[in-house]
Every structure is written in C-alpha cells, then in structure tokens.
C-alpha cells in the first residue's frame, strides 16, 4: 500500500482526508493512476490513516478514513547524522539509504578536507533536491515521519551542539582501540528513547584538530573496525550498528 505524508495544504476531519498538495495529487493521479475504491496510507504527526479514495478531481483527491493507528515513538532511538560534504552524487545515496535505516535527521557539514563546497547561489536548489530525496525514501521505507535536513554547518557549530545529545560519536580512521561497540556498551545497556548523534568525515578524513575539538566538546572517538570505509559506507555502517544494538 502506497504511503503519503500530510502537507500543510491538506485537510482532514474525523471522517475524511482531502489531499491538496500538488506533488501528492500529481503522483496519485498521473503516476499511480489511482482509482475510486483503492486504499492508501496517509501519515501525520498523530499516526497512520488508511483511506479509501472516493473522489478524484483536478486539484485534489479525497479519501474516506477506514482506520487509524496512533504512532508511539517514545521507545524509539533518535539517530541524527552529521555528514561532511562528499564529492559528486554520493550525498544522494547517503541520504536515501540512511533514511531507510532509520535516521531521523541530517546535518550537512563543511569540514576542512571537504572537496565539495555548497557556497553559492545554487545551495537552496541543492537542499530542496536533497529534501525531495529524503521524502521519497521515507515514503518508500514507510518511515513514521520525514527526516529533517539542515546545513551547511561548520565543525565548530557541530561541536557546540554535542551537549544536546545523550551520546555523540566520531568514527575516526586513526582510532584503533576504542570500538563503536565498546562505546555503546559503556554508555547504556539500551538505547531506547535516547538521542544519538554521530559525524562522518569526507573522503579525505578529518583533520586531527577537528577531532580534538569534537572530543573536547564531549564526543567519543571510535573505530568502526579494521577496514577503512568510504564516507558513503561509514554512515550506513554506524546507523546499522545503532539499530542492531537497540533491537
């Protein structure tokens, strides 16, 4: 069953939902070619609705509500990824796959060794495209919400935000002894309800001074294992570790 997220222009009451968001209506009518009587899922901040299509017009699709399931996120781990800007199209893959793995929010970071630079007039367009990728991945993976995207931040700004987290990790290729697993075990037997942040460096890795800055701010520097992972692989590995530890 296809899933869509409520937009501000959509309307709902106890009996029905009217989808007015242009992108949603276009996708339903032009791509999926939805028909009267078909059912779809619609998600808002309260939970998941099952709606049956009963009206299709040029600017809207109306659904009669068949059922509702409240969303309870109280025991879920909240994972936020700070991703240093990679080269080329890698960021699209990073965002898409980490949404599927359960990341709830992304921050883009301009570190010292980043080759990519988002400064310039096209930054807003890039961010909007990345938000669309995140939204589509959330729909495909049936995420309970659309992860947010913020950026571009400096490493200094990241360091200032570390106290906001229950645990903040820095996977670093020069750390050989303190493993990701040990850091989680030392922190808590369960990550349920915790807010976890971690930062992944660019292709050239972190400057040692950046790592020290993050460490002084309260981050724990860890290794993901014996092999050096690509920037697009490291984030997915860390997210998978967190989800596995919390399962």
Tens of pLDDT, residues 138-154: 999 998 889 999 989 99
- Mean pLDDT taken over the chain: 92
Percentage of the chain modeled with pLDDT above 70: 98
In this prediction, residue 45 carries a pLDDT of 85
Angle value at C-alpha 183, between 213 and 75, nearest 5 degrees = 105
Which listed CATH number (1.10.287.110, 3.30.750.24, 2.40.240.20, 3.30.70.3270) goes with 3-70?
Answer: 2.40.240.20
Per-residue confidence band for 189, with pLDDT thresholds at 50, 70 and 90: confident
In this prediction, residue 120 carries a pLDDT of 64
Class of domain 78-246: alpha beta
Find the Cα–Cα–Cα–Cα dihedral 112, 115, 119, 124, rounded to 10°. -120
Residue with tokens 């939902």: 17
Q: Is the confidence at residue 121, as pLDDT, over 70?
A: no
Spell out the alpha helix ranges (H) of the chain: 22-26, 90-101, 123-141, 155-161, 180-187, 208-216, 231-246
**Average pLDDT in the 111-128 region?**
80
In this prediction, residue 75 carries a pLDDT of 65
Domain boundaries, the chain: 3-70, 78-246
* Pairing of β 61-70 and β 47-56: antiparallel
In this prediction, residue 175 carries a pLDDT of 92
């Amino acid at each position: 069953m296809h899933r869509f997220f409520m937009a501000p222009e959509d309307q709902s009451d106890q009996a029905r939902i009217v989808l007015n968001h242009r992108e949603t209506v276009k996708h339903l009518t032009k791509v999926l070619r939805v028909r009267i009587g078909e059912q779809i899922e619609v998600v808002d901040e309260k939970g998941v609705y099952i709606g049956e299509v009963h009206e299709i017009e040029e600017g809207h699709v109306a659904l009669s509500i068949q059922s509702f399931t409240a969303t309870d996120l109280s025991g879920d781990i909240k994972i936020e990824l700070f991703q240093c800007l990679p080269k080329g199209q890698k960021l699209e893959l990073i965002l898409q796959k980490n949404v599927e793995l359960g990341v709830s929010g992304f921050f883009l970071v301009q570190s010292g060794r980043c080759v990519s630079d988002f400064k310039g007039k096209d930054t807003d367009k890039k961010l909007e495209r990345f938000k669309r990728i995140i939204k589509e991945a959330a729909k495909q993976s049936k995420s309970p919400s659309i992860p947010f995207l913020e950026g571009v931040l400096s490493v200094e700004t990241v360091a200032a935000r570390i106290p906001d987290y229950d645990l903040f990790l820095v996977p670093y290729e020069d750390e050989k002894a303190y493993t990701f697993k040990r850091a989680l075990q030392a922190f808590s037997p369960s990550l349920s309800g915790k807010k976890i942040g971690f930062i992944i460096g660019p292709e050239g890795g972190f400057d040692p001074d950046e790592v020290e800055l993050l460490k002084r701010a309260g981050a724990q520097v860890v290794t993901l294992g014996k092999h050096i992972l690509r920037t697009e692989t490291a984030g997915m590995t860390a997210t998978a570790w967190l989800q596995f530890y919390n399962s």
